[in-house]
Structure 1
Amino acid sequence: MPTALPLPPRTARLLPWIIATAQFMPMLDGTILNTALPTMARDLAEDPLRMQSVVIAYMLSVAVLMPASGWISDRFGTHRVFLGSILLFTLGSLLCALSASLLQLVAARVLQGFGGALMMPVGRLVVLRAYPRTELVRVLSFVTMPALLGPLLGPPLGGWLVEYASWHWIFLLNLPVGLFGCLVAARLMPDLRGLQRTRFDTPGFALFGAAMLLISIALEGLGELHLPHARVVLLLLAGLACLAAYWLRAVFAEAPLFSPGLFRTHSFAIGVLGNLFTRLGSGALPFLTPLLLQLGLGYSPSQAGMAMIPVALSSMAMKPLAPRLIERLGYRRVLVGNTLLIGALLASLALVDGDTPYALLLLHLGLIGAVNSLQFSAMNTVALIDLPTRDASSGNSLLSVVVQLSMSLGVGIGAALLNGFSADGAAQGDPLLAAFQGTYVCVGLLAMFGAALFFQLRPEDGRPGWRHDELAD
């Protein structure tokens, strides 16, 4: 069915709240879970080091299914797919709470991952298709605000639940939220579909899914899994080979999973590649900073957790300002300047040491949260705003995959750099603190490289009225 039909006023007001709730659930679930893993291991009579499989199972199931989210939405409609994704995530949460063994818990997390793989990109696709392109920045900024509450509420809430209740409540909390989301989505979620039905690209999905799976395991091997470097290299090369095979096939396929033609849209190509390279730096921040505060500076876990609150608060405060800044300055100026600023702020964390006042550290982290928030709003919107309607679902799915992959890549690179600098016997002073400082300089420089990509944007890219008469073609 056509996707340009206007929404009823009540639906237009409430729909962002439904999508925001769906963004919030996986973010809260993931940040709560890390706090509870030691307690869960004790209750399940497992080695705590094996519990990381609970996190990895979710991540890998998301990486495998997310590439198909655009075709699934076009084939079955956003109403059924979005509703089904919430139901899958909620059912997975219930099964997690009822799990009596690690194997059952991992299987339930896979089911949760399938729900999360559809929930987040389909929600953004609905925004892309249901609202005028001139409102895209405002609506996307709004729906991502509650997701920022996950990292803020997750760690303290997880610690409180584990200490005063049980780890099962980490998953049971999702049940009322999920059921409420299902009831509201069933009434208000529009049923938007692609303009034409195409056959599912099964060989392409197999190649692309294998690439995401192998690359994700390789990246986790650098960090959480501590795989030997030779094995990581082999996995990474195998994943890149599958990815290259996919793109070679996509050039000649009639209806590929992701068409190379997507990159003919100038702003989309720059937005996707800029997302990938910029998040290499900013994606390492949530991994590195708690470790720096506790291992490098000797902060207590509660102090380290409190220090991350300014990041989330400033991120939320920036969201309402982002549309005005982008409208006034344009995507090119905002993204080039802000990317350089992000890199400089990340690199300047290398100046933090035991003598840095706590208040100054909080201000520094708060600034990083604000500029990151503006960056994500601008990057995601510029990638989607000029896409023709026929490419909306495919382009949105590819953007979701790139965001997911780049966050994992940022953590993997951060872990690899930290391990490398830690092994450097030439480090002066406190070797561990010096390793963190060298790592922050490197990830800051990596983030800055994205500015060269965003400099390729034209001043008119993403501007209201620019080519919008062609977007319905």
Structure 2
Amino acid sequence: MRKSQAFVIPLIAASSLLMEQIDATVISTAIPKISATLGVSALDLKMAISVYLIGAAVSIPVSGWIAGRFGTRTTFLWAMAIFVGSSILCGSSSSFGQFVGARLLQGVGGSVMTLAAQMIVLKTIAKTDTVRVLSYLSIPALIGPVLGPPIGGFIATYFSWRWIFLINVPIGLAGMVAAALWIKNNRDEHSLPFDWPGFSLAASGLALTMFCAATLAQSFIPAPVSLTIGGIGIAVLFAYQAHARRTPRSLLHLALLRIPTFRIGVLGGAFARVGLGATPFLLPLMLQLGFGLTPLKSGLLTCVPAAGSILLKTVAPLVLGRYGFRRALLWSIPLSSLSIGLLGYMTPATPYWIVVALLFAGGCARSLQFAGLNTLTYADIPAKEVTHASSLATAFQQFSLNLGVSAGALFLAGSGWAQDHRGIAVLDFLPAFVGVALVCLCALVLAGQLTSDAGSQLTNSRKSA
């Protein structure tokens, strides 16, 4: 691969990933204006966020098969076309039903686009470049959920909220042209027939469990109903597991979890992403309700961790090569969890420089943490299994991000119930942030299972004695 391709292809993939990640959260600060235009309550409009995640979850099991069968470039182009088209539908919606339907379609297009972008990079880069390239490729996942709310708030404040979606059109079209010119259409040599029973089980199981997680803390759906739906979803996923063991053409290859580095990268990343999903949800609420800041000011503070993430990305490959994946994760996971827990101890009297320093340090720690976990995920995956590994890893990523938002909401609601008050109080944020931090800390148990030389073949470093 030419040097120009080694730069342009990851750039195309990263740009599409950033666009998708921002779009997942960009409407959160624009909900009041959108709801006023569509004539519904702000609470009802939260369904537009949930259906985006559900659409993404449903499409994950089939994305890998489509990319393997028709080629990564073809899949990427069609997925981006769906994403751009649904963005136009979102921006031109005149009713609540149209808007929710367009968001569902946007989630499908965004999810397939994300998976295809990851596969394009994994199939084109050299093994020795994996750490460097995936380190930069993980930036969108870190900063997208952080940049979404302030971007949405800025556009909704100074322009029409419809531009939140219409701005995707020129960006998406430019990405499609670049992909058509630079990306090779890699296909799997031996594509198995489509597993319709497996797709039905996996898609419905993921959709039901994610719907439960998204609505459990909402008042418009009773908790027993949400729990029942979640229980059915879990039962369906167990049925899929039994099905996957019997068929060699299953869409999500759960057997890949037997590979230690893949299992630790995926499951450890799932615990860590709970914090990545919860923090952009909890932090703006605390800054606005507790500190009295405006949405724009709270959005700007929410961007601070992104600066730390980007800075650390420049040295993450060097750190992983020098100290190894195990040592880097054993330090970065507790530091990242600690930075989340300490957010709950901030008060309106806390000096701004301390707030900024804590957010920046947390962004640095999470950046190193995800650089290690994301790269480790594919360290020992055979080339023929890259498609299936990417599909399974993406499924865990989508679910854990959604679970993070739900966990933050549940901890807030639980604190209010324990203290016997209605609504959200400032004191509720301490148990919420600490609870999320403890969930993230569970990744440390998995990182401790790594050998000292795990992933060393990806850094060109010598194996530890």
Match of 2:33 in 1: 39
Distance 1:278 1:157 in 2: 25
Match of 2:208 in 1: 214
Distance 1:408 1:75 in 2: 29
Distance 1:240 1:184 in 2: 41
**Residue type at the aligned position of 2:68:** D
Distance 1:71 1:290 in 2: 39
1:342 aligns with 2:336: yes
Q: State TM-score, norm by structure 2.
A: 0.93
Q: Relative to 1, partners in 2 of residues 1:187 and 1:229: Cα closer, same or farther, differing over 3 Å?
A: same
1:109 aligns with 2:94: no
Q: Relative to 1, partners in 2 of residues 1:339 and 1:256: Cα closer, same or farther, differing over 3 Å?
A: same
Match of 1:451 in 2: 444
Could you say what the CA RMSD is over the residues aligned between the two structures, in angstroms? 2.2
Q: Relative to 1, partners in 2 of residues 1:422 and 1:363: Cα closer, same or farther, differing over 3 Å?
A: same
Please, which moves more after superposition, 225-234 or 87-96? Answer: 225-234
Match of 1:311 in 2: 305
Matches within 5 A, 1:154-193: 154-193=148-187
Q: What's the CA shift for 1:24?
A: 1.8
CA contact (8 A) 1:223 1:411 kept: no
Q: Relative to 1, partners in 2 of residues 1:151 and 1:412: Cα closer, same or farther, differing over 3 Å?
A: closer
Match of 1:4 in 2: none
Distance 1:255 1:9 in 2: 36
1:9 aligns with 2:19: no
CA contact (8 A) 2:262 2:377 kept: yes
Matches within 5 A, 1:113-262: 113-146=107-140, 148=142, 150-151=144-145, 153-224=147-218, 227-262=221-256
Distance 1:287 1:152 in 2: 9
1:22-50 CA deviation, whole Å, 9 max, x = no partner?
Answer: 11212233333222222122222333332
Matches within 5 A, 1:327-406: 327-406=321-400
Q: Relative to 1, partners in 2 of residues 1:282 and 1:99: Cα closer, same or farther, differing over 3 Å?
A: closer
Distance 2:435 2:49 in 1: 27
Q: Relative to 1, partners in 2 of residues 1:465 and 1:180: Cα closer, same or farther, differing over 3 Å?
A: closer
Q: What's the CA shift for 1:347?
A: 1.9
Matches within 5 A, 1:402-421: 402-421=396-415
Matches within 5 A, 1:252-291: 252-291=246-285
Q: What's the CA shift for 1:382?
A: 0.3
Please, which moves more after superposition, 431-440 or 60-69? Answer: 431-440
CA contact (8 A) 1:262 1:395 kept: yes
Q: Relative to 1, partners in 2 of residues 1:149 and 1:431: Cα closer, same or farther, differing over 3 Å?
A: closer
**Residue type at the aligned position of 1:129:** K
Q: Relative to 1, partners in 2 of residues 1:106 and 1:319: Cα closer, same or farther, differing over 3 Å?
A: same
How many residues are matched?
459
1:302 aligns with 2:296: yes
CA contact (8 A) 2:307 2:360 kept: yes
Distance 2:203 2:145 in 1: 28
Q: Relative to 1, partners in 2 of residues 1:225 and 1:146: Cα closer, same or farther, differing over 3 Å?
A: same
CA contact (8 A) 1:337 1:451 kept: no
Distance 1:466 1:13 in 2: 19
**Residue type at the aligned position of 2:403:** L
CA contact (8 A) 1:322 1:377 kept: yes
Please, which moves more after superposition, 322-331 or 436-445? Answer: 436-445
Distance 1:29 1:287 in 2: 15
Distance 2:338 2:47 in 1: 35
CA contact (8 A) 2:48 2:99 kept: yes
Distance 1:426 1:40 in 2: 33
Structure 2 gaps of 5+ residues are 461-465
SS in structure 2 of the partner of residue 361 of structure 1: helix
Matches within 5 A, 1:428-439: 432-439=425-432
CA contact (8 A) 2:83 2:106 kept: yes
Q: State TM-score, norm by structure 1.
A: 0.92
**Residue type at the aligned position of 2:378:** L
Distance 1:348 1:156 in 2: 23
CA contact (8 A) 2:408 2:436 kept: yes
Identity %: 35
1:337-389 CA deviation, whole Å, 9 max, x = no partner?
Answer: 21111222222223222331121011111111111111112111101121011
**Residue type at the aligned position of 1:460:** D
1:94 aligns with 2:88: yes
Distance 1:23 1:158 in 2: 17
1:246-280 CA deviation, whole Å, 9 max, x = no partner?
Answer: 11121121221122331232200111111122223
Distance 2:54 2:137 in 1: 25
CA contact (8 A) 1:20 1:147 kept: no
SS in structure 2 of the partner of residue 284 of structure 1: helix
Q: What's the CA shift for 1:153?
A: 4.6
SS in structure 1 of the partner of residue 94 of structure 2: coil
Q: Relative to 1, partners in 2 of residues 1:225 and 1:130: Cα closer, same or farther, differing over 3 Å?
A: farther
Distance 2:220 2:331 in 1: 36
**Residue type at the aligned position of 1:436:** F
Match of 1:442 in 2: 435
Q: Relative to 1, partners in 2 of residues 1:146 and 1:208: Cα closer, same or farther, differing over 3 Å?
A: closer
Structure 1 gaps of 5+ residues are 1-6, 468-473
